[in-house]
Amino acid sequence: MTVKTHSFKIDTNKNFEIIDITSEVNGLIDIEEGIVSIFSRHSTSAIVVNENESGLLKDFEFMLANLITDEFSYQHDRIDNNAKSHLKSFLLSSSECLPVKNGKLDLGTWQSLFFVELDGPRRNRTVTLTMVGE
């Protein structure tokens, strides 16, 4: 049994951007079997698992914009004009904790792991991986 940690950086190019990080995370996993925490160190981003289909990812952006709308005035915008980005992050969560098998994420056929930028563009978004297993 062992603990291993890694981190990697992401530069984003748009205000909303959803980036498939499955391959990058698989390349950093160095246990054979166990659990890995994938954690974004930012409160205007999220980590999610779903299908990588371009139309669906557009629907996801639309859904979030529909749930957290422009029609209200948010208090946090007086300090930093990104309340909606934080609120989307609250709803989605900044981490996932996933199974590892045979040295990689044990996902289903139609599942990918995504980093969701909710307040870009940004440089040096950091994702940490913490693995426990053998």
Residues in contact with a second copy by CB under 8 A are 1-3, 5, 33-35, 37, 39-43, 48-51, 53-56, 58-60, 62-63, 66-68, 72, 74-76, 78-80, 83, 86-87, 89-101, 106-111, 126, 128, 130, 132-134
Minimum distance, C-beta of residue 27 to a second copy, in the bound complex (Å) = 19
Question: Whole-number minimum distance, CB 39 to a second copy, in Å?
Answer: 5
Of how many residues is the chain composed? 134
User: Per-residue DSSP letters for 8-61?
Assistant: EEE---SSSEEEE-HHHHHHH---SSEEEEEEES-TTEEEEEE---HHHHHHHH
105: buried, middle or exposed (CB in 10 Å: 19+, 13-18, 0-12)? Answer: buried
Smallest gap from Cβ 62 to a second copy, in A, equals 7
Min dist. Cβ of residue 53 to a second copy (A): 6
Give the whole-angstrom CA distance, residue 44 versus residue 86: 5
Q: Toward a second copy, which CB reaches closer, 12 or 89?
A: 89
Which is nearest to 74 in space by CA: 64, 87, 61?
87
Closer CB to a second copy, residue 4 or residue 24? 4
Closest to a second copy by CB, 1 or 123: 1
